């Protein structure tokens, strides 16, 4: 693990929620790899916290599907399967489509301007080939549209499912071809949103998630083929 520095120390009251925000990117970006045991002791030392908030944070991550908890054995980074992707992505696509349609009805001009600003930031990250920043801003765009729908039940359900797929979605963006396609789709997303065309945005978001599903499955199958035989 990284050397302990002052910037790693956590002083906020909700320690376990802050830990979730710190640990989730380690999983999404595969610094903690699928199938690996979560090094609880090392993470406690890194973030200068006790085992209690760490275990509470791992419970949240388990609820998101990013880790699994085993009695007396600790936490393990989950492995995303093709079957799970095929099950979750169509549901996620339908939820995002609904969020897009509602957003076009309920979004304010200021919120549209914010999404446009995020889009421009994401495009700069794409130009710079900065995948980490691109992915972060990409997620912020989807979240901004979801929040603009102004439906808390939809937001909660969509975010819970999205969290389960974040790691695979991040890794699948490593394909240059898929990355370029995703950028074109996001151009259509921002254009539809600015036009407040709910039906078009709904259609684009469904297709966006379908294409993402295909790229994730392709990535998973390729990763499986690269594994050495036991």
CATH of the domain at 50: 1.10.10.10
What pLDDT is stored for residue 3 in this prediction? 47
Q: SS3 for 33? A: coil
Residue 46 and residue 122 share a domain: no
Looking at residue 107, what is its pLDDT?
97
Q: Which residue, among 151, 141, 152, has the nearest Cα to 111 in the 3D structure? A: 141
65: left (phi over 0), alpha (psi -120 to 50) or beta: left
Domain assignment present for residue 97? The answer is: yes
| One domain for residues 67 and 118 | no
In whole angstroms, give the CA distance from residue 33 to residue 23.
12
Closest CA to 48 of 6, 110, 88: 6
Instruction: Name the domain boundary from 77, 93, 110.
Output: 77
| Owning domain of residue 11 | 6-77
Specify if 37 maps to a domain.
yes
Examine the domain organization and report whether 62 and 100 are in the same domain: no
Handedness of CA 82, 212, 104, 114 (dihedral sign): positive
Same domain assignment for residues 72 and 89: no
Among the three residues 57, 77, 97, which one is the final residue of a domain in this structure? 77
Mean pLDDT in each 10-residue stretch from start to end of the chain (230 residues)? Answer: 50 77 86 91 94 94 89 89 92 96 97 98 96 90 96 92 79 76 95 97 96 88 60
Give pLDDT, residue 150. Answer: 97
């Amino acid at each position: 693990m990284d050397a302990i520095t002052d910037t790693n120390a956590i002083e906020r009251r909700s320690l376990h929620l802050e830990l979730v925000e710190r640990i989730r990117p380690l999983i999404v970006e595969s610094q903690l790899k699928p199938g690996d045991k979560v090094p609880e002791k090392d993470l406690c030392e890194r973030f200068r916290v006790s085992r209690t908030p760490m275990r509470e944070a791992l419970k949240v991550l388990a609820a998101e599907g990013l880790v699994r908890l085993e009695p007396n054995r600790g936490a393990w980074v989950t492995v995303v399967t093709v079957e799970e992707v095929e099950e979750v992505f169509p549901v996620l696509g339908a939820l995002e489509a609904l969020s897009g349609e509602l957003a076009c009805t309920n979004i304010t001009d200021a919120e549209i301007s914010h999404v446009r600003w995020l889009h421009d930031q994401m495009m700069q990250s794409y130009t710079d080939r900065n995948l980490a920043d691109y992915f972060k801003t990409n997620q912020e765009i989807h979240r901004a549209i979801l929040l603009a729908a102004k439906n808390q039940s939809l937001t909660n359900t969509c975010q819970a499912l999205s969290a389960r797929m974040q790691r695979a979605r991040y890794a699948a963006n490593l394909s240059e071809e898929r990355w370029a396609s995703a950028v074109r789709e996001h151009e259509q997303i921002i254009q539809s949103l600015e036009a407040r065309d709910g039906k078009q945005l709904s259609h684009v978001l469904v297709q966006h998630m379908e294409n993402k599903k295909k790229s994730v499955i392709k990535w998973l199958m390729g990763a499986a083929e690269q594994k050495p035989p036991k």
